[in-house]
C-alpha cells in the first residue's frame, strides 16, 4: 500500500509583467495568493520556432505557506496575434508551512499578450507534489 502523502497542484494565475524581466500573478487554487517570477537565463532557440529559458518563482499563499521553484519555460509567439503561448515546468526547491517537506514538479500552460506598457495573461496549473 502506497502511503505517500501528496497535494494536487491545480489552479490558475492571472499574470502581469512588472518589468521587462519580472512578473506577478494573482493565484487561485491549491495556492491561494500570489506568485512572483523572474528569468534566470537568456532565451535559447529550440529549433522548432519556440524559445526555452529558465526561471524561478515564489508562490505565496494567504495562509503564509510558500513554495520556491526553479523552472524550465518554453514559449512560442504567434506573429499574427502577438500572443505568446507558454508551458512551464516548476520544480520545488523549498516549501514552508503546509508545503514543508513536499517536493516534485508541476506544470502550467497558458498565454500572454502585450497590453500597453505591460504584458498580461493567464496560466492553468496541474500536477502533484509529494512529501519526500
CA–CA distance, 27 with 14 (Å, rounded to integer):
7
pLDDT score of 54: 98
> pLDDT digit of tens for each residue in the chain (132 aa)?
456 899 999 999 999 999 988 999 999 999 999 999 999 999 999 999 999 999 999 999 999 999 999 999 999 999 999 999 999 999 999 999 999 999 999 999 999 999 888 899 999 999 999 997
pLDDT score of 2: 58
CA–CA distance, 24 with 14 (Å, rounded to integer):
8
pTM of the prediction? 0.93
pLDDT score of 115: 85
- C-alpha grid cell, residue 32: 491561494
Cα torsion through 22, 6, 30, 119, rounded to 10: 30
- C-alpha grid cell, residue 80: 499574427
Cα torsion through 21, 91, 47, 116, rounded to 10: -30
SS3 63: coil
Query: Any idea where the domains of the chain sit in the sequence?
Result: 22-118
pLDDT score of 60: 98
pLDDT score of 37: 97
* 21: Cα within 13 Å, side-chain hemisphere: 10
Beta strands in 9-117 (DSSP E): 11-19, 22-29, 33-39, 44-45, 51-61, 66-78, 83-95, 102-103, 105-115
Amino acid at each position: 500500500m502506497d502511503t505517500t502523502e501528496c497535494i494536487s497542484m491545480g489552479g490558475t494565475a492571472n499574470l502581469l509583467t512588472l518589468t521587462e524581466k519580472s512578473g506577478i500573478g494573482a493565484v487561485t487554487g491549491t495556492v491561494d495568493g500570489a506568485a512572483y517570477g523572474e528569468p534566470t537565463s537568456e532565451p535559447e532557440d529550440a529549433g522548432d520556432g519556440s524559445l526555452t529559458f529558465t526561471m524561478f518563482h515564489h508562490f505565496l499563499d494567504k495562509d503564509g505557506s510558500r513554495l520556491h521553484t526553479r523552472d524550465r519555460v518554453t514559449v512560442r509567439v504567434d506573429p499574427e496575434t502577438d500572443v505568446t503561448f507558454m508551458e512551464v515546468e516548476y520544480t520545488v526547491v523549498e516549501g514552508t508551512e503546509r508545503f514543508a517537506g513536499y517536493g516534485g514538479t508541476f506544470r502550467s500552460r497558458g498565454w500572454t499578450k502585450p497590453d500597453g506598457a505591460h504584458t498580461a495573461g493567464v496560466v492553468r496549473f496541474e500536477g502533484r507534489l509529494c512529501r519526500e
